[in-house]
Amino acid sequence: MLEGGLLGWATAALVRLDDEVPGILSRALTAAPARRQAIFASLAAHAVKAGVFDAGDDLFPVSFAEVVRHGRVTDILRTAFGDVPEGYPGLLERIGERPLDRPQDYLAIHQMLARNDVRAADALRGSGRITRRKLEVLSALDPRWHHASTVERIDTGAEAITFNAAVEFVQSVCSRATDEAVAQAIGQMRPTSTLPRLLDRFVRRADRLPPHPVPAGDNELRPLTTMRDHLEAARKYRNCLASKVGHVAAGRIAIAEFRGECLLEFRPLTHSGGWMFWLCHGPRNSLVPISTLNAAAAKCDVLGIPRQDEDTGGAGWRSYRRITQELEWD
């Protein structure tokens, strides 16, 4: 049972109307979804205007009660709202048998149609049963991304705001991620597709990567400066670098290949203090021979790229780092 009675917040209002015109409560309980939701929407309009249902004995005029009892769907809605936007009865029918959680939700749908928000209306029509959750997601979601595919896959308004920010990041690193391209990709999503995969596809085509700490043109140490470089290196070394392209695009890590034998990972220092040589990764994240590791570190020294103080902790610390380096790849 819903909070407030059998029909939630609408129960008390229906009972009062039934006192004026007997049969209204029965009519609401047995009506088809379209008519029932029209009644709920009308009650919601009066509730929001009056503030509370028990504001007085004259809250609902007799004429309104008669229309609710005997009128058609459009008559009921017109009595409460005046103008009934095209498509409003159809969207109400998609709510189902129960009323929405709040009276304001009905007004939100009415206002959406009244301002001719075609994208939002189409998103609701294509996303199955209309719920308060979907309305909250739609309200928080950037209008550019209004689509049934996003409304169905995002659970809360907070997640919608996060998605907005994620798309903004993707667009900042990938020139191909235009509004039109992102909207088209959303519209072409398959049932098994996910929003994270959609964004990842754009990030893998990023062409606005941060400056690399290793200068180009060196015969020993080759900086990976494009997404193609990173994806090819991931295949060559058979590691998880392909899953780190987002970190690369965000400037959280940088990768360079040393002598075609291993990958060097660099991480940024705080307060824009440049970069640090962090780890060395062999094929399949295997250990790199000491001679190669020392040569790579010496190369970084020549380039003026600092590294972790290997003297701290002594030989035991260095051995520990060599054994656990593959765990630190994350």
Q: What is the pLDDT of residue 7?
A: 84
Residue 259 confidence (pLDDT) above 60: yes
Bridge partners, 277 (sequence order): 266, 307
Query: Span 227-242, mean pLDDT?
Result: 96
Q: What is the pLDDT of residue 54?
A: 38
- What is the rounded distance in angstroms from the CA atom of residue 280 to the CA atom of residue 268? 16
Bridge partners, 255 (sequence order): 265
The residue that leads in pLDDT, 324 or 283, is 283
Evaluate whether 262 touches 282 at the Cβ level (below 8 Å).
Answer: yes
Global pTM value: 0.83
For the segment 40-71, what is each residue's pLDDT rounded down to a tens digit? 999 999 888 653 333 344 455 547 888 888 88
User: How does DSSP assign 224-283, residue by residue?
Assistant: --SHHHHHHHHHHHTSSGGGGHHHHHTTS-EEEEETTTEEEEEEEPGGG--EEEEEEE-G
For the segment 66-116, what is each residue's pLDDT rounded down to a tens digit? 888 888 999 999 988 888 999 999 999 999 989 999 999 999 999 999 999
Structure tokens at 269: 């220092």
Coil/strand/helix, residue 266:
strand
CB neighbours of 199 closer than 8 A, spacing ≥ 6?
166, 167, 170
- The model's confidence at residue 4, banded by pLDDT at 50, 70 and 90, is low
- The helix or strand, by DSSP H or E, that contains position 223, with its residue range, turns out to be strand 221-223
Backbone φ and ψ for 213, nearest 5 degrees, come out as -70, -20
